[in-house]
Amino acid sequence: MRRAINTVRSAGIRGLSLAPVAALLLSVAALLLGNGLLGTLLIVRAGQEGFSSGAISAMMSCYFAGFTIGALVLPRIIVSVGHVRTFAGFAAIASMTALLHVAVVEPIAWIPLRLVTGFAYAGMMLATESWLNAHAVQSTRGQLLSIFGVVSMGSWAVGQGLLNIAPPADVTLFLIVSLLISAAVVPITLLPSHPPTQVEQERVAMWDLVRVSPLAASGAFLAGLAIGGFWGMGANFAQRIGLDVAGISAFMAAVLAGTLVLQWPLGWLSDRLSRNLIIAGAAVASAAAAIGVALSAEAPLPVLLVVGALFGGFGIPIYSLCLAVANDDLPAGRLLGTARGLLLLNGIGTAVGPLIGAAAMDILGPGGLFLYAAALLTLLAVLAIALGRPKRSIQAKGARSPSTPMITGSLDTMICMEERSRGARH
């Protein structure tokens, strides 16, 4: 919390006014409080209801699949109907699906509900991020998006603590999720509508992306596989090693808190040193921490929280570093298609990760989830070293992106890249 306050204060000193977007940030905070609570709540409740690990992993994979599909197809809808109507409409859908989980407590119902929820959250987050980006000017965009990242990650972490308000078997927590999503609509509907820059749609040449920036492509996919396993099955791991509800929420919050602390320093280092070395170092550190988590299943809770924070702090920002590598490697005119290609690769990995992670847990025990992540992160570190130092482009200088939970190559990144593309053409 102190870090978030210092970030906002520092931005204000440098001349960034947050007043015009304060209500927007409040909407994001309420939205991600609800989403952070719902994601963990469903896993815990599913475990209590006796859902199989396969059903739980399929349920969480469908959320990521829905989010990825939404992030790819919804920009056109946002441009067509406007940001406020997009946000309000998808918030209504997300609020209804949260309550429907209580009405039908069966895997056959929860799996499609998670797909719809992921799609709805993609619409809401694309609308809010692009609206925020429209407010920013070039001299303050990095500061504003970094604050957005802090608010997003902080809200997601605080949402884990709400799990302790009532028993997961009760309807109360689902009602709180629905109330938070509905409350998020209130501030954003009071803002004047200023549509952001429209985004041109480009075809994604996937093989071109792999050929021109192999580190970015492989890193986005492997990071999705490794971190997606945690997003989908992390709470189930904590439940299976015997943690109570308070311990589960503390573990999940610790992983997110580590990301909140380390994402900015890693971005700062990557702007000053070779990005492939920073990616390799972050992957090795996260892999070591993942092994530590697997070995700490019987250790005191504080030990588990520390290694969990290191796992998230070094592992979750890797996708942002891969975006920066792609920014370095490709010319300005192709950056928009590149962002969507990386989004697709990361989304596929994130959707498949929980399925493989659940299988690893069945074979190796609960710690198998993190041993699986450690193997993938180690492979990524080897690839980062083997592929060598990426060349920096003079026309497309890398920029740090906020690493927010389950928000990968979002519309604000696409708009930034489109602006560079237009600048290059003129």
309 within a domain of the structure (yes/no): yes
Most confident of the ranges 66-80, 139-153, 213-227, 278-292: 278-292
Lowest mean pLDDT: which of 185-194, 197-206, 372-381? 197-206
Cα–Cα distance measured from residue 225 to residue 204, given in angstroms and rounded to the nearest whole number: 21
Give residue 330's pLDDT.
60
- Taking a C-beta distance cutoff of 8 angstroms, is the pair 417, 338 a contact? yes
Query: Does residue 121 form part of some domain?
Result: yes
Is pLDDT of 10 > 60? no
Q: What local confidence, expressed as pLDDT, does residue 176 receive?
A: 94
In a domain, 6, yes or no: no
Of 200 and 256, more confident: 256
Band of residue 12 on the pLDDT scale cut at 50, 70, 90: very low
Please state, in angstroms and as integers, the Cα–Cα distance from residue 205 to each residue in 41, 75, 89, 213, 357, following that order.
38, 19, 32, 12, 29
The band of 133, judged by pLDDT with boundaries at 50, 70 and 90, is low
Domain count across the chain: 1
Tokens of 57: 């992993």
- 3-state class (DSSP) for residue 39: helix
**Residue 143 confidence class, pLDDT cut points 50, 70, 90:** low
- The structure tokens 């996708």 sit at 319
Q: What are the φ/ψ torsions at residue 404 (nearest 5 degrees)?
A: -105, 150
225 domain-assigned = yes
**Higher confidence at residue 390 or residue 184?**
184
Mean pLDDT, rounded, for 315-332: 73
The confidence band for 382, taking pLDDT boundaries of 50, 70 and 90, is very high
The average pLDDT across 55-63 equals 85
- Of 220, 317, 301, 303, nearest to 259 (Cα)? 317
Residue 140 belongs to some domain of the structure: yes
pLDDT tens digit sequence for 390-423: 444 434 343 333 344 444 334 444 434 444 444 4
Q: Is residue 9 in a domain? A: no
97 and 375 Cβ atoms separated by less than 8 Å: no
- Average pLDDT value over all residues in the chain: 76
Contact (CB, 8 A) for 280 and 227: no
3-state DSSP assignment of residue 201: coil
pLDDT score of 415: 39
CATH code for the domain in which residue 31 is found: 1.20.1250.20
Find tokens 């991020």 and name the residue: 129
pLDDT at 204 over 60: no
Per-residue pLDDT, 425: 47
The alpha carbon of 326 is separated from its chain's Cα centroid by a whole number of angstroms, namely 19
Residue 7 lies in a domain: no
Q: Are 393 and 329 in contact (CB under 8 A)?
A: yes
Alpha-carbon distance of 366 to 352, in angstroms, equals: 18
Cα 409 to Cα 71: distance, rounded to the nearest angstrom: 8
Alpha carbons 348 and 134: distance in angstroms, whole number: 29
| Contacts with 407 (C-beta within 8 Å, 6 or more apart), sequence order | 125, 129, 152
Rounded to two decimals, the pTM is 0.71
- Tokens at 394, concatenated: 């003079």
Length of the chain measured in residues? 426
Mean pLDDT of 355-382: 91
413 Cβ contact list (under 8 Å, min separation 6)? 323, 339, 401
**Mean pLDDT (whole number) for 209-228:** 83
pLDDT computed for residue 374 by the predictor: 94
Q: Is a pLDDT exceeding 90 seen at residue 276?
A: no
Question: Following DSSP, what letter does each residue of 376-393 receive, concatenated?
Answer: HHHHHHHHHHHT-PPPPP
Angstrom distance (rounded) from CA 180 to CA 33: 7
DSSP secondary structure code for residue 192 in this structure: P
Among residues 19, 43, 17, the alpha carbon closest in space to that of 369 is found at: 43
Read off the pLDDT of each residue in 203-215 and give the average, rounded to a whole number.
Answer: 68
In a domain? residue 2? no
Note down the domain range covering 374: 15-194+204-425
DSSP for 76-142 reads: HHHHHH-HHHHHHHHHHHHHHHHHHHHH--SHHHHHHHHHHHHHHHHHHHHHHHHHHHHH--TTTHH
As a whole number of angstroms, the distance between CA 307 and CA 302 comes to 9
- State the pLDDT confidence band at 337, using cuts at 50, 70 and 90: low
Residue bearing the bigger pLDDT, 116 or 203? 116
